[in-house]
């Protein structure tokens, strides 16, 4: 199995590695939703119209990797460039990640270009910022969480960092002129609050989950989407 962690290697002298994903590959993935496990799970939460809207606005992709049923979360910047795509396979009934017999996660740039790619990630859903310059933004960790929250609470533009440690200036700078509230997963509030306080602009970090979670919910490390679906 290739290493699922996103890595970036500097080009050799005189070599120009690509920094965006081929749009032909991207377009090809925008189909076969009947075989996409995440989309099948969303059917237990939303009606067909809502699901089609979420597919369209987030440009959710489908991959045959990991034996099929895998979702691609494309990272599209405000210029429409595709920075990369995260591949994750979910259980179609529970919506949980497949972690056995291996963690079913990989990256489009790794599969397509191996180490010959100049990676610069952006926020998942970042392209949505161009559609409404004044809409408030809600920031979460998981791409799946952003999608579910968008369907439930469309008053915000829901974006995702992609991981706990991707809450960092290089990704967040694009939000400096927006009203932003971050909803960290349970157990991550202090980490994100500290990182937010070090930014040169303001991001409000919500402690809603920390104040309202039970001990069992804390142990599971739930996120805002879990609470929305309760």
Q: What is the pLDDT of residue 7?
A: 43
Q: Are strands 137-140 and 157-160 parallel, antiparallel or unpaired?
A: parallel
Q: What share of the chain is helix, strand, coil (3-state, %, to 5)?
A: 40, 15, 45
What pLDDT is recorded for position 146? 98
Strand order in the sheet with 180-182: 157-160, 137-140, 180-182, 204-205
Q: What is the mean pLDDT of each run of 10 residues along the chain (230 residues)?
A: 45 72 96 98 97 98 97 98 98 95 94 92 98 95 97 96 96 96 95 96 95 87 81
Q: Residue 12: what pLDDT? A: 52
pLDDT of residue 115: 85
50: which 2 tokens? 């809502």
């Amino acid at each position: 199995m290739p290493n699922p962690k996103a890595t970036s290697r500097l080009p050799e002298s005189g070599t120009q590695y690509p920094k965006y994903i081929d749009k032909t590959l991207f377009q090809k993935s925008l189909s076969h939703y009947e075989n996409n496990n995440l989309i099948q799970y969303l059917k237990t939460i939303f009606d067909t119209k809502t699901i089609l809207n979420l597919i369209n606005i987030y440009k959710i992709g489908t991959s045959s990797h990991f034996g099929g049923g895998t979702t691609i979360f494309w990272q599209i910047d405000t210029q429409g460039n595709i920075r990369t795509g995260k591949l994750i396979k979910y259980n179609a009934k529970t919506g949980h990640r497949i972690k056995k017999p291996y963690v079913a996660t990989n990256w489009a740039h790794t599969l397509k270009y191996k180490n010959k790619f100049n990676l610069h990630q952006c926020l998942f859903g970042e392209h949505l910022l161009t559609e409404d310059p004044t809409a408030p933004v809600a920031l979460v960790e998981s791409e799946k969480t952003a999608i579910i929250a968008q369907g439930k609470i469309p008053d915000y533009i829901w974006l995702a960092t992609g991981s706990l440690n991707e809450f960092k200036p290089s990704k967040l700078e694009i939000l400096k002129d927006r009203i932003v509230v971050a909803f960290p997963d349970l157990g991550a509030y202090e980490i994100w609050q500290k990182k937010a306080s070090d930014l040169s602009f303001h991001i409000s970090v919500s402690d809603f989950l920390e104040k309202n979670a039970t001990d069992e919910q804390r142990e599971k490390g739930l996120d805002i989407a879990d609470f929305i679906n309760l």
